[in-house]
Structure 1
Amino acid sequence: VLEKSSDVVIIGGGVIGCSIAYQLAKQQVGVVVLERTRFAAGASGATAGVISPLWHVDPEVEPMWRLGMRGLKLFPSLASELSEAGVDPEFRQTGVLKVAFTGEEVEELRRNLAWQSQLGFGVAWLDQAEVLQREPEISTAVMGGIFSPQEGYVRGQRLVDSLVQAATRLGAQFHQGVEVLNLRTEGRRVTGVVTSWGSTDAAQVVLAAGPWSGLPSRWLRQQGAPEIPVRPVKGERILLRKPGFLPRSPVRNSEAYVVPRLGGDVLVAATRVEGQFDEVVTAAGVSRLIAAAALSFPSLADAAFVSGRAGVRPATPDGMPILGPVPDVEGLSIAAGHDAVGIMLSPATAEMMAQYLLDGNAAPLEPFSISRF
């Protein structure tokens, strides 16, 4: 049965929506999360799960860099909290290894090392012998690599499951298979949501529906709000299994990640296809990922194929998420558009969004405001 009222309703049960719900529940805020299909059914469940802002967040875009660094700092304690609440998100701070197979790739890694080595994270160059010592099954064509010891990986589905478990224990309500059909409004103020299960009143509604966050523009334009410029970017990943083979940490070449899983599988990710909402795992995607994995680890060409999964990432025109209040619609805010870095930015995003929902001060979120478009 759907709650008649709540302090906050969150639309979307991926890692962003569930992370915000957990942070609000820790502050004793009443929160209801509504998910149209299943929790982590989209990009959050199909992710590589690599927590590596040093590779995936541009240090020259200061607001994004702060989010990435804050997330990296928060993940170990967050994972510990979530595990204590009942579900292990399978976060492992194993480090991340980026390898080079051409002279150009070596030069690119060394350019990155010039600034990464100044951060105090112990980032270091490994020559061919050191790479092979660390990962004996890697191709002998490897020319070197960079190891970043404080980064790591998490299992996306388990992270979301652990957030749902921990937030539920703190009083949050989660519902799957519930589609939000419309917003309830009085004038230009949101008063709740209308769903396939009925209505819920709420003073605050957060739109965290990933790539689908751009679609409810039809509701918002009735209220005079701007269109939400979030577009879909499809990504595929596969699981392989080769008994006796498991890398010590995520290994990335120029094409893909090879990531160990606690159950013994190896995850290979990810493809990138602009403008597609479908979640079909394609033959082309699978073959490309297998080839990319075999570039780093030739023996994976003989691995057993376990499964494939696709998800749709939410992208924005400038590569930064949209966070904070929606202008001209009081009580409505958005947290979407993280593209391929949603998992790694989720702890800091949730921290900032929860603080805004508690105190109403949107100033810290200003760089991410929808008003920039």
Structure 2
Amino acid sequence: MTVLEKSSDVVIIGGGVTGCSIAYQLAKQQVRVVVLERTRFAAGASGATAGVISPLWHVDPEVEPMWRLGMRSLELFPSLASELSEAGVDPEFRQTGVFKLAFTDEEADELRRNLVWQSELGFGVAWLDQAEVLQREPEVSTAVLGGIFSPKEGYVRGQRLVDSLVQAASRLGAQFHQGVEALNLRTEGKRVTGVVTSWGNIDAPQVVLAAGPWSGLPARWLRQQGAPEIPVRPVKGERILLRKPGFLPRSPVRNSEAYVVPRMDGDVLVAATRVEGRFDEVVTAGGVSHLIAAAALSFPGLSDAEFVSGRAGVRPATPDLMPILGPAPDVEGLSIAAGHDAVGIMLSPATAELMAQYLLDGNAAPLEPFSLSRF
């Protein structure tokens, strides 16, 4: 039977990578924190992710707040992974580098255009011709024209990352509850005082909404307090696992359609599809066939690999594709950390760092570019 604490300094609604990362950072500062997860930890997008840590491919350098968030996360991941491993669970972060391959002249031209600015970052990003690609990844299709290799990037296993955060934060005193649903927020006037859950009430002066695509729901609980709508929409993504004895790429390999990512258990992860406006987590035949074809484009040998499993998750997206971070306008004590779309795992270390600091000192200025008030 679940026994809830009667009070806490901070209650976090949502047990994905964002909520669990914030909890870990708060626990390191001796903050009493409780995390509530309606189903199980990493049940959604955090567990269905490709886990690729590659801000150079996924974050626009012209959007400065996102770029800073991506670069800071890339900087933090190695030390974070080491901390978490020492606490008992290896998140399987590996800084193997990431490949982006070109199979057409147009794709090669695009990669070379990106290389102009990527090469100035000091990360050792370089163009490899066909022979150099095949030397590093011999199973790649000979139809490849070349590719860009980014040696400072890598990958992490999403489920293991969340498990390791839960383990490490629990050792520091954080409390985590699965199968406990947040039903409402307790308020006095326009101030949050706690959470009503399916297992009782928790008093808390600070509540963080980190429920991914479901983060918009609590705004309905606070309509009388004038809380604004939270514009987070669902984007479904599917991924599959394949197995072929003797075959394992050295690093994540991306083509125009999908990633092929090695795993420590010997399986190969292929991700991901993108379907706007869908909340379901059904793995479809169309999604599977698309991913197998995309994997075979880079690695023809995967066309006859064993199909191990499929999984789908729902990502939280915002209108401008930037997350919503920081205090909710007009509701004292309520914060939001949601809307990362497909880069939640990738940006989780810096997101947690910023959110934890705000919850500790109340200074929301560093979070201003991500504020809900921008909509």
User: What TM-score, normalized to structure 2?
Assistant: 0.99
Map 1:5-44; keep pairs closer than 5 Å. 5-44=7-46
Contact 1:46 1:237 (C-alpha < 8 Å) held by counterparts:
yes
Say if 2:362 is the partner of 1:356. Answer: no
Contact 1:220 1:227 (C-alpha < 8 Å) held by counterparts:
no
> Alignment partner for residue 192 of structure 2, among 171, 190, 193?
190
Unpaired runs of at least 5, structure 2: none
Q: Compute the displacement of 1:124 (Å).
A: 0.4
Q: Deviations over 1:60-117 (max 9, x none)?
A: 0000000000000000000000000000000000000000000000000000000000
Task: Tell me the distance in 1 between the aligned counterparts of 2:335 and 2:98.
Answer: 34
Q: Compute the displacement of 1:358 (Å).
A: 0.2
SS in 1 for 2:9: strand
Task: Tell me the distance in 1 between the aligned counterparts of 2:77 and 2:323.
Answer: 19
| Corresponding position of 2:374 | 372
| Corresponding position of 1:343 | 345
Q: Deviations over 1:207-231 (max 9, x none)?
A: 0000000122211222101100000
Q: Compute the displacement of 1:161 (Å).
A: 0.1
Number of aligned residue pairs: give it.
373
SS in 2 for 1:13: coil
CA RMSD, 1 decimal: 0.4
Unpaired runs of at least 5, structure 1: none
Map 1:168-207; keep pairs closer than 5 Å. 168-207=170-209
Map 1:199-278; keep pairs closer than 5 Å. 199-278=201-280
Say if 2:161 is the partner of 1:148. Answer: no
Structure 1 runs (4+) greater than 3 angstroms displaced: none
Map 1:90-105; keep pairs closer than 5 Å. 90-105=92-107
Task: Tell me the distance in 1 between the aligned counterparts of 2:334 and 2:217.
Answer: 15
Q: Deviations over 1:5-45 (max 9, x none)?
A: 00000000000000000000000000000000000000000
SS in 2 for 1:181: strand
Contact 1:233 1:272 (C-alpha < 8 Å) held by counterparts:
yes
Contact 1:21 1:31 (C-alpha < 8 Å) held by counterparts:
yes
Task: Tell me the distance in 1 between the aligned counterparts of 2:289 and 2:218.
Answer: 36
Map 1:273-292; keep pairs closer than 5 Å. 273-292=275-294
SS in 1 for 2:143: coil
Task: Tell me the distance in 1 between the aligned counterparts of 2:119 and 2:216.
Answer: 39
Task: Tell me the distance in 2 between the aligned counterparts of 1:232 and 1:372.
Answer: 20
Range 221-230 or range 350-359, more displaced: 221-230
Task: Tell me the distance in 2 between the aligned counterparts of 1:222 and 1:96.
Answer: 49
Task: Tell me the distance in 1 between the aligned counterparts of 2:180 and 2:20.
Answer: 15
Contact 1:91 1:154 (C-alpha < 8 Å) held by counterparts:
yes
Contact 1:240 1:267 (C-alpha < 8 Å) held by counterparts:
yes
Range 43-52 or range 214-223, more displaced: 214-223
Task: Tell me the distance in 1 between the aligned counterparts of 2:341 and 2:283.
Answer: 19
Q: Deviations over 1:224-251 (max 9, x none)?
A: 0110000000000000000000000000
Q: Deviations over 1:307-361 (max 9, x none)?
A: 0000000000000000000011000000000000000100000000000000000
SS in 2 for 1:157: helix
Contact 1:68 1:345 (C-alpha < 8 Å) held by counterparts:
yes
Task: Tell me the distance in 2 between the aligned counterparts of 1:320 and 1:216.
Answer: 20
Task: Tell me the distance in 2 between the aligned counterparts of 1:215 and 1:271.
Answer: 25
Identity of aligned residues (%): 91
| Corresponding position of 2:123 | 121
Task: Tell me the distance in 2 between the aligned counterparts of 1:63 and 1:194.
Answer: 34
Contact 1:96 1:151 (C-alpha < 8 Å) held by counterparts:
yes
Q: Deviations over 1:134-159 (max 9, x none)?
A: 10010000000000000000000000
Contact 1:210 1:337 (C-alpha < 8 Å) held by counterparts:
yes
